[in-house]
Amino acid sequence: MILAACFLLGVLIGAAMLSTADQTATENLSFLFQGFIQNRGSAGFFSSFFSSFSSALLILLISFLSGFSAISTPFIFLIAVYRGLGIGMTAGYLYSNNGLAGIGFFAGVVAPGAVAISLTLIYACKESIRFSMIFLRPLYRPFPGTSALPALKIYLRRYLMFFFILAGASLCDVLVSSMFLWVFGL
């Protein structure tokens, strides 16, 4: 629940940041958005899938590796905020430049894939925090002879599951955006 709140906080901050952004930041967002449109509109299916999957996979990898540190819990919360920032900035940019058409584009093209990917990443971050606590606990209350191996096996299995769910969410992202991209003339 706290991770979801961090994500939503990131969405709100990202959307609000656009109101104070300078011309250069707005131009950079415009460049990224045009790249998204070109990639989804003219690139092949596999190129679009790889683009969606690889960006989310990087965040998943960072979350996975953070689980191996006893002191990474605050950083893992920042991962959720970071993901929310990107989505909030995208929504804010679309609204500020395109009004209601931008909101429609966000809701119909961007949000379905973004929500599926974000939920997967939030659950992965939750798992990373849980696993990180295994390494943190002995620092303030040692248990001699305890092993993290059983928890490691579960952690690896769950992250393998997150990997496949993320692939499915990226597939959903590409399919939805390719089906509805043509509806909006942005």
Three-state SS across the chain? Answer: CHHHHHHHHHHHHHHHHHHHCCHHHHHHHHHHHHHHHHHHHHCCHHHHHHHHHHHHHHHHHHHHHHCCCCCCHHHHHHHHHHHHHHHHHHHHHHHHHHCHHHHHHHHHHHHHHHHHHHHHHHHHHHHHHHHHHHHHHHHHCCCCCCCCHHHHHHHHHHHHHHHHHHHHHHHHHHHHHHHHHHHCCC
Q: Domain boundaries in the chain?
A: 2-183
What pTM did the predictor assign?
Answer: 0.86
Higher pLDDT: 27 or 14? It is 14
Q: Read off the pLDDT of residues 69-118 as tens digits, 9 standing for 90 and up.
A: 988 999 999 999 999 998 998 888 888 888 888 899 899 888 999 999 99
Q: What's the pLDDT score for residue 47?
A: 85
